[in-house]
């Protein structure tokens, strides 16, 4: 942080006088920490002058990230509107919704579930098309390139700030050992345990235990969905039975959200405890280890339920007559006929919006207000005396009663997890960038108000980059390419539709696609005790029911075996994953190569300064040589280099008076 008093003008305020340092908090509140200025650029120069470079870089990064979300949001909205505009022209959903569609489907659960008409899945099929259409493939490629562009633009922005803030030659000061580390070393040396002096306790087992807890909770939610679905199918209310799928999906997503919010707080404390247990040597090492552990635990906590729905649900089901069971009584879940992409969208939207609304905004606003209210209630009996005492206090004494600054890790972590929601599963939720943008517009001013009015002013710290967070961002962006390739290939119906249209369709259209994806099952082949208790619910006896899979019919030579269509679709899916990943990663490398890390004007300025510096250095050295010769005794001048070998290479001519005065 600059120690010079703040005066003159700041370019971020369009030439508006910034006043003295005593007025800076008020100016920051009016021009930065106010919701009414949400449409303005942040005065990053003022933020840096008051809080230091480290906090200034965070808000500069957050501002650029929010700005980059604008084009991503526009494209996402266009993709969503394209799905809305083409839903009535989508042939597969039209076939499902056709009133003459009398395809009888197999029960979705044992005993209590009955046969059902495929036409009842009309709403789900139409809704799935909003997020599962050819435009989502384009959007996935666009978002991968968007992430690469964002990283490149941040490198350029960071370099410009380094130049403007005079940080181009700044290097981190030597990080001294932490007091906790020295205390532990001293304890071990007093015990004369030399072998254990540098031994670091292993924290991999506690981390694995926490990840195992997350998996166990996800498994518990799976059991909840299975049991609740069976219970609702037994309801006497037809409305309840007709909305079983929507009820189960929504309530399970809300339960997952509540668990994620609770475990986030637990995992944050666990990560700090494990890092303290390791006793890293320096503060920088401590911070990096804490950030990495916290990120891994919170990332797994937030995305494990989503990963399960995207890649595992509906894959390990079996088939009618040979289903896969958990604990010998719970049948594994199936996806709705529209695929698991709709369920993935529900889970992703509830988790993302819930975390932003409850954890990121409500907690950040509500918790400080609640603490302030508690302090006010405690001081209410002597409110008058307290008010009089507050008037006599200096500004720094009043600021001491504010909340202590807890570091930037929670702020960065919140945005990195959001970046994961925006990029990792964007193929299933193209509106994610829009919701992130709306959240961040509020988040910037919320954080600004928190820093200016509710937290103690932190000790200013210099930094030339955002540290380990940049590497985490790059890692998330790379993983996003792989995950979106698998989502498009295995979670959506994009590949099966393309394979049918170009290989199996008689006229090259999508007519007959739904029937092509459904296999046949003879209801007499149900396992004993697993058949439905109401076989006549449709009003007629059922002999053959259909289920979504690629298997041979019961009347073939190899009944219920996987058909050749399955292997064809699988081969195309794997080929798509390989091609998609390599093409997108290659395009990312091209973007990285085309966009220089240093802006051209900054590069020219740095080059000019280096030339001037070298020229000045050479002139100074040249001047020193001339001055030395002019001041040398006559005997030394005549002897040249004989008296002193170090002056043998010096010029022999004396400088004139004018050249001496110029140095």
DSSP secondary structure letters along 270-304: HHHHHHHHH--SBHHHHHHHHHHHHHHHHHHHHHH
Report which DSSP code applies to 6: P
Can you tell me which residue has the tokens 């009944």? 559
Do 116 and 327 touch, CB atoms closer than 8 A? no
Q: CA torsion, points 203, 209, 214, 215, in degrees to nearest 10? A: 130
Lowest mean pLDDT among 464-478, 502-516, 620-634: 620-634
Mean of pLDDT values over 279-294:
84
Residue 242's Cβ-count burial label (10 Å; 0-12, 13-18, 19+) is: exposed
Give CA–CA dist 290/467, Å, rounded: 13
In the prediction, which pLDDT does 190 show? Answer: 61
Query: Who has greater pLDDT, 561 or 17?
Result: 561
Mean pLDDT calculated for residue range 624-650? 49
The answer to whether residue 189 scores a pLDDT higher than 70 is no
With both helix axes pointing from N to C terminus, report the angle between 363-378 and 432-449 in degrees, rounded to the nearest 10.
30
3-class SS string, 296-327: HHHHHHHHHHHHHHHHCCCCCCEECCEECEEC
Q: In 3D, which of 226, 470, 484, 216 has the Cα closest to residue 348?
A: 484
Look up residue 503 and give its DSSP letter.
Answer: I
How is the beta sheet containing 544-548 ordered, strand by strand? 116-117, 104-105, 544-548, 518-522
Tens-place pLDDT, residues 508-551: 888 889 899 999 999 988 888 788 877 777 778 888 999 998 99
Q: Which of 125, 120, 127 is nearest to 104 (CA)?
A: 120
Q: Per the structure block, which two tokens stand in for 432?
A: 């994610």
What span, in angstroms and rounded, lies between the C-alpha atoms of 363 and 375?
A: 18
Q: Pick the residue with more confidence: 351 or 1?
A: 351
Q: Which residue has the higher pLDDT, 629 or 198?
A: 629
Which of 280-289, 498-507, 560-569 has the weakest average pLDDT? Answer: 280-289
HSE-CB of 129 using CA atoms within 13 angstroms: 22
When mean pLDDT is compared across 145-149, 180-184, 237-241, 343-347, the lowest value belongs to: 180-184
Q: Average pLDDT in the 169-180 region? A: 66
Cβ(331)–Cβ(226) under 8 Å?
yes
Chain segment 455-466, per-residue pLDDT in tens: 888 888 888 889
Alpha-helical (H) ranges within 118-178 are: 122-131, 134-164
Which pLDDT score, from 0 to 100, does residue 550 have? Answer: 92
At residue 518, the 3 state secondary structure works out as strand
Count other C-beta atoms under 10 Å from residue 438's C-beta: 14
Cα separation, 226 vs 334, whole angstroms: 10
Which tokens belong to 591? 């973007």
Residue by residue, DSSP assigns 428-459 as T-TTHHHHHHHHHHHHHHHHHHIIIIIBPPPP
Cβ pair 358, 443 in contact under 8 A: no
pLDDT at 500: 92
Instruction: Calculate the alpha carbon distances from 399 to 24, 53, 567 in Å.
Output: 14, 21, 68
DSSP state of 545: E
Measured over the CA atoms of residue 248, residue 249, residue 251 and residue 252, the dihedral's sign is positive
Least confident of 71-85, 383-397, 648-662: 648-662
- Range 330-348 average pLDDT: 78
Give 650 or 342, the one with higher predicted confidence.
342
pLDDT band at 371 (very low <50, low <70, confident <90, very high): confident
Strand 104-105 versus strand 318-319 pairing type: unpaired
Q: Report how far residue 347's alpha carbon sits from residue 306's, in angstroms, rounded to the nearest whole number.
A: 7
For residue 618 the two structure tokens come to 């050479």
Looking at residue 35, what DSSP letter applies? G
**How much is the pLDDT for 475?**
92
pLDDT (tens digit per residue) in 27-71: 888 889 888 888 888 899 999 999 989 999 999 999 999 999 999
Q: Is the pLDDT of residue 480 over 60?
A: yes
- Type and span of the H or E element at 239: helix 238-242
**DSSP per-residue string spanning 243-271:** THHHHHHHHHHHHHHHHHHHHHHHHHHHH
Mean per-residue pLDDT, 443-452: 88
- The rounded distance, in Å, linking the Cα atoms of 331 and 184 is 53
Cα separation values, 401 from 195, 386, 396, 588, 653, Å: 46, 13, 9, 49, 72
Q: Where are the alpha helices (DSSP H) in 8-133?
A: 24-31, 44-51, 53-86, 91-97, 122-131
Q: What percent of the chain has pLDDT over 70?
A: 79
Between 181 and 7, the higher pLDDT residue: 181
Look-up of token digits 């400088």: 655
Q: Which of 439, 426, 480 is nearest to 77 (CA)?
A: 426
Cα-Cα end-to-end distance for the chain: 34
Q: Tens digit of pLDDT for each residue in 137-163? A: 889 889 989 999 999 999 999 999 998
Q: Helix 283-311 vs helix 204-233: angle between axes, to the nearest 10 degrees?
A: 30
- According to the model, what pLDDT value does residue 381 have? 54
Q: Are 150 and 68 in contact (CB under 8 A)?
A: yes
Q: Are 548 and 124 in contact (CB under 8 A)?
A: no
Give residue 181's pLDDT band: very low, low, confident or very high (50, 70, 90).
low
Whether residue 397 is predicted with pLDDT greater than 80 in this model: the reply is no
Query: What is the pTM (predicted TM-score) of this model?
Result: 0.81
Q: 105 has which bridge partners?
A: 116, 546
């Amino acid at each position: 942080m600059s120690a010079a008093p703040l005066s003159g003008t700041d370019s971020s305020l369009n030439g508006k006088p910034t006043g003295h340092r005593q007025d800076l908090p008020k100016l920051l509140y009016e021009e930065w920490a106010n919701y009414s200025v949400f449409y303005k650029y942040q005065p990053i120069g003022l933020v840096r002058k008051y809080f230091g470079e480290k906090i200034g870089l965070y808000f500069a990064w957050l501002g650029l990230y929010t700005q980059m979300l604008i084009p991503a949001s526009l494209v996402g909205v266009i993709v969503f509107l394209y799905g809305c505009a083409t839903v009535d022209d989508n042939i597969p959903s039209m076939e499902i919704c056709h009133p003459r569609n009398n395809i009888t489907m197999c029960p979705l659960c044992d005993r209590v579930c009955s046969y059902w008409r495929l036409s009842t899945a009309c709403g789900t099929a139409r809704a799935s098309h909003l997020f599962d259409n050819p435009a989502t493939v384009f959007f996935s490629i666009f978002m991968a390139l968007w992430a690469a562009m964002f990283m490149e633009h941040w490198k350029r922005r960071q370099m410009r700030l380094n130049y403007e803030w005079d940080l181009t030659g700044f290097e981190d000061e030597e990080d001294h050992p932490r007091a906790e580390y020295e205390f532990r070393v001293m304890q071990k040396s007093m015990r004369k345990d030399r072998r254990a002096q540098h031994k670091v306790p292993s924290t991999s087992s506690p981390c694995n235990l926490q990840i195992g807890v997350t998996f166990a909770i996800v498994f518990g939610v799976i059991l909840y969905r299975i049991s609740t679905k069976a219970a609702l199918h037994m309801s006497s209310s037809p409305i309840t039975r007709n909305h079983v799928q929507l009820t189960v999906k929504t309530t399970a997503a809300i339960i997952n959200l509540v668990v994620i919010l609770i475990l986030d707080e637990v995992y944050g404390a666990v990560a700090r405890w494990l890092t303290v247990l390791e006793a890293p040597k320096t503060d920088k090492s401590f911070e990096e280890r804490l950030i990495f552990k916290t990120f891994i635990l919170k990332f797994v906590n937030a995305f494990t339920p989503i990963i399960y729905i995207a890649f595992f649900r509906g894959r390990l089901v079996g088939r009618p007559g040979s289903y896969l069971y958990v604990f010998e009584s719970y049948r594994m879940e199936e996806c709705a006929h529209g695929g698991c992409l709709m369920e993935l969208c529900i889970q992703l939207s509830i988790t993302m919006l819930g975390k932003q609304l409850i954890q990121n905004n409500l907690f950040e606003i509500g918790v400080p207000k609640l603490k302030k209210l508690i302090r006010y209630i405690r001081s209410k009996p002597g409110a008058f005396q307290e008010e009089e005492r507050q008037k006599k206090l200096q500004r720094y004494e009043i600021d001491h009663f504010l909340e202590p600054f807890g570091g930037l890790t929670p702020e960065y972590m919140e945005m990195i997890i959001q970046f994961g929601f925006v990029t990792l599963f964007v193929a299933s939720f193209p509106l994610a960038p829009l919701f992130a943008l709306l959240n961040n517009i509020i988040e910037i001013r919320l954080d600004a108000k928190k820093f200016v009015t509710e937290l103690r002013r932190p000790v200013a710290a210099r930094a030339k980059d955002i540290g380990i967070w940049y590497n985490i961002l790059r890692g998330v962006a790379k993983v996003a390419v792989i995950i979106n390739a698998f989502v498009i290939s295995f979670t959506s119906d994009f590949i099966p539709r393309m394979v049918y249209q170009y290989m199996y369709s008689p006229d090259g259209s999508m007519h007959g696609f739904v029937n092509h994806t459904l296999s046949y099952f003879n209801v007499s082949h149900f396992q004993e005790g697993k058949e439905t208790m109401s076989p006549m619910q449709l009003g007629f006896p059922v002999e053959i029911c259909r289920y979504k899979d690629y298997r041979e019919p019961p009347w073939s030579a190899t009944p219920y075996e996987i058909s050749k269509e399955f292997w064809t679709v699988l081969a195309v899916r794997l080929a798509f994953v390989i091609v998609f990943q390599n093409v997108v990663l290659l395009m990312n490398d091209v973007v990285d190569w085309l966009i220089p890390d240093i802006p051209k004007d900054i590069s020219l300025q740095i080059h000019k300064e280096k030339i001037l510096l070298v020229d000045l250095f050479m002139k100074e050295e040249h001047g020193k040589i001339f001055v030395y010769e002019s001041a040398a005794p006559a005997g030394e001048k005549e002897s040249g280099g004989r008296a002193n070998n170090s002056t043998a290479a010096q010029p022999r001519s004396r400088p004139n008076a004018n050249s001496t005065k110029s140095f």
